[in-house]
Structure 1
Amino acid sequence: MPNRQHLSTESLIGDWLENPAGRTVLIDMLARRSPDARALYAIRELPLSSLITLSNGRVTTDYLQLLVEAANRMTDRTPGDTTTGHLFASAPPPAPDDWEEPLIEGRFRGKTVVVTGATSGIGRATAVRVAREGGHVLAIDLSTLRMEALLEKNQDLDITGVVGDISNQDDVNKIAVRVRGRVDALAVVAGVADNMVALHEVEDELWESVFRINVDGPFRISRALIPIMLSRGVGSIVNVSSQAGLRGSIAGSAYTASKHAVIGLTRSAAYIYSPRGIRVNAVIPRPTKSALESNYGSLGGAGPLPSGPLTSPETEAAQIASPMTYLLSDDAANVTGAILPADDGWGLA
Structure 2
Amino acid sequence: MPDPVQHLSAESLIGDWLDHPTGRTVLIDLLARRSPDARALYAIRMLPLSTLATLSNGVITTEHLDLMVEAANRLIDQPSVHPATAHLFPSAPPPAPNDWREPLVEGRFDGKTVVVTGAGSGIGRATALRVAREGGRVLAVDLSTLRMEALLERNQDLDVSGVVADISTQSGVDKIAAEVGNRLDGLAIVAGIADDMVALHEVEDELWESVFRINVDGPFRLSRALIPVMLSRGSGSIINVSSQAGLRGSIAGAAYTASKHAVIGLTRSAAFIYSPRGIRVNAVIPRPTKVALESNYGSLGGAGPVPSLSLTSPDIESAQIASPMTYLLSDDAANVTGAILPADEGWGIA
The interval holding the TM-score normalised by the smaller chain is over 0.9
Show CA shifts across 1:86-121 (max 9, x none).
954211110111111111111111111000000100
Q: Which moved more, 1:55-64 or 1:240-249?
A: 55-64
Cα 1:85–1:64 change in 2 (3 A) is farther
In the TM superposition, residue 16 of structure 1 has moved relative to its aligned partner by: 1.0
Cα 1:88–1:256 change in 2 (3 A) is farther
Aligned 1:1-349 pairs, distance under 5 A? 4-77=5-78, 80=81, 87-292=88-293, 295=300, 307=308, 310-349=311-350
Q: Which moved more, 1:61-70 or 1:37-46?
A: 37-46
Aligned residues of 2:34 and 2:60 also touching (Cα < 8 A): no
Q: RMSD of aligned C-alpha atoms?
A: 2.0
Cα 1:234–1:82 change in 2 (3 A) is closer
- Could you tell me the TM-score, scaled by structure 1's length? 0.92
SS at match of 1:284: strand
Distance in 2 (alpha carbons) for counterparts of 1:104 and 1:193: 33
Distance in 2 (alpha carbons) for counterparts of 1:190 and 1:83: 47
Q: Which moved more, 1:122-131 or 1:10-19?
A: 10-19
Q: Which moved more, 1:27-36 or 1:234-243?
A: 27-36
SS at match of 2:49: coil
Cα 1:90–1:278 change in 2 (3 A) is same
In the TM superposition, residue 199 of structure 1 has moved relative to its aligned partner by: 1.5
In the TM superposition, residue 81 of structure 1 has moved relative to its aligned partner by: 7.2
In the TM superposition, residue 32 of structure 1 has moved relative to its aligned partner by: 1.4
Show CA shifts across 1:30-81 (max 9, x none).
3212232112223333322222223333433222111001111122225747
SS at match of 1:160: strand
Which structure 2 segments of 5+ residues have no match? 302-306
Distance in 1 (alpha carbons) for counterparts of 2:19 and 2:212: 47
Distance in 2 (alpha carbons) for counterparts of 1:237 and 1:265: 11
Distance in 2 (alpha carbons) for counterparts of 1:3 and 1:346: 32
SS at match of 1:280: strand
Aligned residues of 2:244 and 2:287 also touching (Cα < 8 A): yes
Distance in 2 (alpha carbons) for counterparts of 1:78 and 1:319: 37
Distance in 1 (alpha carbons) for counterparts of 2:72 and 2:237: 49
SS at match of 2:300: coil
In the TM superposition, residue 83 of structure 1 has moved relative to its aligned partner by: 12
Distance in 2 (alpha carbons) for counterparts of 1:266 and 1:127: 21
Distance in 1 (alpha carbons) for counterparts of 2:62 and 2:85: 21
Q: Which moved more, 1:5-14 or 1:209-218?
A: 5-14
Show CA shifts across 1:208-242 (max 9, x none).
11111100110010000001100111110000001
Give the counterpart letter for 1:141 in structure 2. D
Aligned residues of 1:70 and 1:84 also touching (Cα < 8 A): no
Aligned residues of 2:235 and 2:279 also touching (Cα < 8 A): yes
Cα 1:64–1:86 change in 2 (3 A) is farther
Q: How many percent of aligned residue pairs carry the same amino acid?
A: 80
Distance in 1 (alpha carbons) for counterparts of 2:138 and 2:333: 19
Aligned residues of 1:25 and 1:87 also touching (Cα < 8 A): no
In the TM superposition, residue 15 of structure 1 has moved relative to its aligned partner by: 1.7
